Chains A and B, each alone.
Chain A
Amino acid sequence: MKKTRIHHNTEESLINSNGSLVIREMVARLKVREAMNSLVLTGKSSATLREVQNIMRENKISGVPVCDDDGVLIGMITVDDIIKALDAGYINESVEKYMSKELITLDANYPLSLALSYFEKYHFRRFPIVDSEKKLIGILSGRDVLSKMLELFNHEIGILENLIPEEKVKHTEFYYKKYSVVAKDMDNAGHASSAIKSYCEKCGISRKLCRRIGVAAFELEINIAVHSDGGSLAVSHKGNELQIISQDVGPGIESIELAMQEGYSTANDWVRSYGFGAGMGLPNIKRVSDDFDIKSDSKGTNIVATFFIDGGENENK
């Protein structure tokens, strides 16, 4: 037994190469090497089936590759082999006689799409990955593929979000864009307001006004993230009027009058640890905006901060 890494059973039914074109393209770009688990538990050919059974039990895995002293893959013992051995009473014999020797292996440089077709074709839960000298360098289970795919999805969706075109808008045109804000997700809070500020910059709005809009959007976004059960932040722009609209699904503000007082806050220590929750948000928004409207009940809070572009007199807010 060499290194430790736990392998669980796979859910091969979730992997199907007949997925959408986008997903298939993503899988085609990936190599087996990028998804495989390179820390593999192995057994020696001299080991007994009982020893392999212990490896499986201790590490909660259902298959153990068997290698010779040079690390060359020579067989595989699965939980089925162990059950048979227990049943027929040869559990204390060496694995060499009973291991599967006709193995389907994968090359680390194969595309992951090929690996997926192997899962479908052979119905195995895992494939050993070998190098050109047949030495074991990793193992690929359905779980490994799923983890890699999820990681890739996250990455790709991030790229797609950034690709959504935001063309320069003439002031006569109507522009509206809504961003969802997830409750308690501090890591992504600021994402929508940063995008809104960039939109304003692209429109040629003055640096000072962009900043005021950005501040209002950011405070609104943080409020949704920390105080509500989730909601959205939208920008609506027509002519010389730009509005930031914040909507959430509750639980609502108990006293708007108190919430508008600087220094009043219902935030907990978790929020404060991030540098928010000092009761400055709503007063900040009101101060930077040209018009401010707030409505709240148990079903949610709606806030609209309005800005007049080319206003001139409010440029120093």
Chain B
Amino acid sequence: MKTSDISKIEGVTEAGKIFDVEITSAYTSDLLSDVLANAKDESVLITIQAHKNTVAVAGIVGAEAIIICNLKEIPADMKDAAQESKISLFVSDKNQFETGVEVWKLLQNS
């Protein structure tokens, strides 16, 4: 699947510039040390950690996109950091599990 496919999920909206690249896996966690240890590159990170460090963590593990769940407000410095790191940022009105299911469907169909 492509990054832009994430916008097709109902209740998920783009929260900044979208960098359209290939996504091959997803990881759901709110514990960033766990993300560092286990998330794969070319992945999308599903989390409620709406702050700048999440972008740095995504950059380290090579995640291409972040979906912030439960409509948590995304601070401006996080948006700036994502744009600078060329990481696409989305916001979802669903929780991490429900969002994960939708992303899983996209990954299965691609």
The answer to whether A193 touches B60 (Cβ under 8 A) is yes
Q: Indicate whether B41 reaches chain A with its CB closer than 8 angstroms.
A: yes
Q: Shortest distance in angstroms between A215's beta carbon and chain B's nearest beta carbon?
A: 5
Cβ of A278: which chain B residues have Cβ within 8 Å of it?
31, 33-34
Contact A194 B53 (CB under 8 A): no
Q: Contacts A275-B31, A278-B33, A284-B37 hold; do A211 and B62 have CB atoms under 8 A apart?
A: yes
Q: Is the CB of B33 within 8 A of A284?
A: yes
Q: From B32, which residue of chain A is reached at the shortest CB distance? A: A275
Is B60's CB under 8 angstroms from A194's CB? Answer: yes
Judge if A63 is at the interface, Cβ distance under 8 Å: no
B47 / chain A contacts, CB cutoff of 8 Å: 275
| A281 contacts partner chain B, Cβ-Cβ < 8 Å | yes
In the bound assembly, the distance between CA atoms of A136 and B30 in angstroms comes to 52
Establish whether residues B57 and A218, one from each chain, have CB atoms under 8 Å apart when the complex forms. Answer: yes
Number of A-B contacts (CB under 8 A): 73
| Contact between chains at A194 and B85 (CB < 8 Å) | yes
Among A83-91, A182-190, A245-253, the stretch in contact with B: A182-190
Instruction: List A contacts of B36 (CB < 8 A).
Output: 215, 218-219, 280, 284
B31 touches A280 (CB 8 A): yes
Shortest distance from the beta carbon of B77 to any chain A beta carbon, whole Å: 7
A288 to chain B, nearest CB (A): 8
- Distance of A278 Cα from B32 Cα, bound (Å): 9
- CB atoms of B57 and A190 under 8 A apart: yes
A287 to B34, CA, bound (A): 13
B37-A211 in contact (CB<8A): no
Would you call B2 an interface residue if the criterion is a C-beta within 8 Å of the partner chain's C-beta atoms? Answer: no
Hey, which chain B residues are within 8 Å of A222, CB to CB?
A: 53
Contact A281 B62 (CB under 8 A): no
Q: List the A residue with the shortest CB-CB distance to B33.
A: A280
Chain A stretch 260-293: residues in CB contact (< 8 A) with chain B:
274-276, 278, 280-281, 284, 287
| Contact status B33-A214, CB under 8 Å | no
Identify A275's interface contact among B37, B53, B59, B60, CB under 8 A.
B53
Contacts of A193 in B (CB 8 A): 56, 60
Kindly state the interface size class of chain B when it binds its partner: 20 to 34
Q: Taking CB as reference atom, which chain B residue is nearest A208?
A: B41
Q: Give the interface SS of chain B, mostly helix, strand, loop or mixed.
A: helix
Q: Are A187 and B60 in contact (CB under 8 A)?
A: no
> Which B residue's beta carbon lies closest to that of A193?
B60
CA distance in complex: A278, B49 (Å): 15
B53 touches A186 (CB 8 A): yes
Q: Is the CB of A219 within 8 A of B49?
A: no
Please tell me if the beta carbons of B59 and A197 are within 8 angstroms of each other in the complex: yes
Evaluate contact between A215 and B34: CB separation under 8 angstroms: no
Q: For B60, what are the chain A residues with a Cβ–Cβ distance below 8 Å?
A: 190, 193-194, 197, 211, 214-215, 217-218
A280–B31 CA distance with the chains assembled, in angstroms: 10
A171 at interface by CB-CB < 8 Å: no
Q: Are A276 and B37 within 8 A (Cβ)?
A: no
CB distance from B84 to the nearest CB of A (A): 10
The reply on A57 being an interface residue by CB < 8 A is no
- Give the docked Cα–Cα distance between A190 and B57 (Å): 8
Supplied contacts A186-B51, A215-B37, 17 more A-B pairs, CB within 8 Å: A186-B53, A189-B53, A190-B60, A197-B60, A211-B62, A215-B61, A218-B36, A218-B56, A219-B36, A274-B53, A276-B31, A276-B32, A278-B31, A280-B31, A280-B34, A280-B37, A284-B36
Q: Please name 17 pairs of A and B residues whose Cβ atoms are closer than 8 Å in the assembled complex, sorted by A.
A: A190-B55, A190-B59, A190-B60, A194-B59, A197-B59, A207-B62, A211-B41, A211-B61, A214-B61, A218-B57, A219-B33, A222-B53, A274-B51, A275-B35, A275-B47, A275-B49, A275-B53
Q: Which residues of B contact A (CB under 8 A)?
A: 30-37, 41, 47, 49, 51-57, 59-62, 77, 85
In the A-B complex, the 9 residue pairs with the smallest Cβ-Cβ separation, listed nearest first, are A190-B56, A280-B33, A275-B32, A214-B60, A275-B49, A215-B36, A218-B60, A284-B37, A278-B31
Please list the residues of chain A having a beta carbon within 8 angstroms of any beta carbon in chain B.
Answer: 186-187, 189-191, 193-194, 197, 207, 211, 214-215, 217-219, 222, 274-276, 278, 280-281, 284, 287
